[in-house]
Amino acid sequence: MFDWTEEQKQIRSAFRQFVQKEIEPHTRALEDNTMEPYGPMRKLAKMIGLKEMVAGALDKAETEAASGSQGSKSGGFGSQDPYLAAILAIELSRCNPGFTMAFGASVGLCGQTLMRRGTLEQKKKWAGPVLCLDKIGAWAITEPGSGSDAFGMRTKARKVSDDKYVINGSKTFITNAPKADVMVVYAKLDIPGEAEGTRPPQAFVLERGTKGLTTGKPLEKMGMHSSPTGEIFLDDVEVGRDNLLGGKEAEPAHGQVIDVFKGERTGVGHMCLGIIERVLEDALAYSKERKTWGEPIASYQLIQAKLAQMMIAYTNVKNIVLKQCYAEKKQLAVSLAEASAQKLYCTQVTTNVCLEAIQILGGAGYMREYQVERFMRDAKLLQIGGGTDEIQALHVARDLIANGVPT
């Protein structure tokens, strides 16, 4: 049977204590943007010993590079034990999904991409500081004119010499963009004399302060208020080969991006599980306390049916998360279609569970004080970011049509 081990339960309890002490009390300030998420994130990094873990991964990468092998592909928290990464994301999401998203975009999307795909120098210069949160990272593919069709991007990197590129374009809806120090930015390679669009997109590592790179103010959103989101503008940004992720043009970035999508799609289940767990606990407690006609509302079958549906969603999402952790631990491949199916299911049921939690709390559920409305607003984003529901469904159906039912 899939479940948390006793040791994992103890780790959860330690994380919960940290979150309740260091993050939960700041929820209102984080949501109102009178406080940035990066201070608490750095405390979290210290608590879990990220610096030591990253230093170990970089040492390993250096030794491997010296011996001529490819170098370490991952580093930082949870890279050796997927259960730990899941537990952390669950505990953070029980408290604040927006905070979790800002943390995940920096350490996961940006830091892990740099660690997996960067040269040794890029790992040391950028992956290390981002993975241990000395620097904040962002990962940017979406543009005003291309989201679901991300490879339809217009941002271009014109190659002006063997060692020089000039990047022009813009990115939008980018998590951490307003404050990020390091940004992995995708641009289509444009080589003078060649037809436009014949070269694949490439990833560049850009730093705040580079001439021509600016970022906009945080965008105002429906939810995920604890996670700053914004635009990146690139106006004749000159960079060298050192900024090209992996140090060479050869590999089209499609594979890198698909890897990131898979990680995002399977990882989102952790956030879903944390959110469902929290709102189900809140709704259950409220239903046992709140009385109408002299009886707790939990005694009414219509409320019980809602609680039962929420519990079914919780059980299914927990099973998906534990199975995914097992697959990662055993290094079993998960297809893009499987990852998409997981994301589609988990995110849809999470939004539904949050809506039902609001319903169970009645008027109180609509009030900010009770928090379930915040979880619902945050959960809705999970059906959009990292590929919308519709795009997940397309990927699942395409695989089904091509390969049949996997029995």
Ligand X SMILES: Cc1cc2nc3c(=O)[nH]c(=O)nc-3n(C[C@H](O)[C@H](O)[C@H](O)COP(=O)(O)OP(=O)(O)OC[C@H]3O[C@@H](n4cnc5c(N)ncnc54)[C@H](O)[C@@H]3O)c2cc1C
For binding to ligand X (CB under 6 A), which residues are involved? 105, 139-142, 147-148, 173-175, 221, 224, 229, 381, 384-388, 390-391, 394
Q: Where are the beta strands (DSSP E) in 273-381?
A: 291-292, 295-296
Between 253 and 283, name the residue whose CB sits nearer to ligand X. 253
Between 128 and 387, name the residue whose CB sits nearer to ligand X. 387
What is the closest distance, in whole angstroms, from the C-beta atom of residue 258 to ligand X in the complex?
Answer: 14
Task: Show the DSSP H helices in 290-388 as ranges.
Answer: 301-329, 336-361, 363-366, 372-381
What is the closest distance, in whole angstroms, from the C-beta atom of residue 151 to ligand X in the complex?
Answer: 12
What is the closest distance, in whole angstroms, from the C-beta atom of residue 394 to ligand X in the complex?
Answer: 6
Task: Return the bridge partners of 189, or none.
Answer: 157
**Residue whose Cβ sits closest to ligand X:** 147
What is the closest distance, in whole angstroms, from the C-beta atom of residue 152 to ligand X in the complex?
Answer: 9
Terminal-to-terminal C-alpha distance of the chain: 21
State whether residue 339 is helix, strand or coil: helix
Between 169 and 365, name the residue whose CB sits nearer to ligand X. 169
Between 79 and 170, name the residue whose CB sits nearer to ligand X. 170
State whether residue 60 is helix, strand or coil: helix
How far does Cα 51 stand from its chain's mean position?
Answer: 21
Between 306 and 395, name the residue whose CB sits nearer to ligand X. 395
Between 40 and 386, name the residue whose CB sits nearer to ligand X. 386
Q: CA dihedral in degrees (324, 264, 400, 347; nearest 10)?
A: 80
What is the closest distance, in whole angstroms, from the C-beta atom of residue 181 to ligand X in the complex?
Answer: 15
State whether residue 174 is helix, strand or coil: strand
Q: Cα dist. 370→297, 332, 374 in Å? A: 17, 41, 9
What is the closest distance, in whole angstroms, from the C-beta atom of residue 19 to ligand X in the complex?
Answer: 22
